[in-house]
């Protein structure tokens, strides 16, 4: 479904950039689309903990990007539903729900009023 929206390749490119890897080579042939990844020299011999740290760093950065997208959307229109935010960001509703929960727990947003008819309020840092 995501590919139908045309965001799959964009997401791959973003993930490579976040990981500090070169962008993959895209090649279209009669048999289909090929994506060729180039890994840094020695990546196959990296210990598991280094690979795990790279994945954690990528996940943290991706979560930060999604959080910033959500904050920006809600600051513009606090009446947006989770489904509307998901459509505008190209993320799943479960991803948006998880991220909103984190934003609420960290005190960056709060819900004003009921689920139906209420709105989101972005809490500005006063630092």
Q: Which residue has the tokens 């994945």?
A: 55
Whether 33 and 62 share a structural domain: no
Predicted local confidence at residue 123, as pLDDT: 92
What average pLDDT is seen over the chain? 83
Whether 60 and 122 share a structural domain: yes
Predicted local confidence at residue 10, as pLDDT: 82
Whether 52 and 41 share a structural domain: no
At residue 36's C-alpha, the angle toward residues 30 and 39, to 5°, is: 170
Report pTM: 0.59
Whether 56 and 24 share a structural domain: no
The number of domains in the chain is 2
Range of the structural domain that residue 94 is part of: 48-127
The pLDDT tens digits for 12-29 are: 888 888 777 888 888 888
Whether 29 and 55 share a structural domain: no
Whether 39 and 17 share a structural domain: yes
Q: Residues 97, 57: contact at Cβ < 8 Å?
A: no
Whole-angstrom distance, CA of residue 110 vs CA of residue 51:
36
């Amino acid at each position: 479904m995501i590919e139908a929206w045309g965001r799959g390749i964009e997401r791959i490119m973003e993930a490579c950039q976040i990981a500090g890897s070169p962008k993959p080579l895209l090649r279209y042939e009669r048999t289909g689309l090929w994506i060729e990844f180039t890994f840094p020299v020695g990546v196959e011999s990296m210990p598991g903990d280094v690979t795990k740290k790279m994945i954690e760093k990528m996940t943290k950065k991706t979560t930060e990007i999604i959080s910033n997208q959500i904050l920006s959307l809600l600051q513009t229109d606090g009446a947006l539903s989770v489904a509307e935010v998901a459509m505008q960001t190209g993320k799943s509703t479960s991803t948006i729900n998880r991220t909103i929960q984190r934003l609420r727990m960290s005190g960056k947003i709060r819900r004003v009023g009921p689920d139906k008819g209420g709105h989101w309020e972005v809490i500005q840092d006063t630092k």
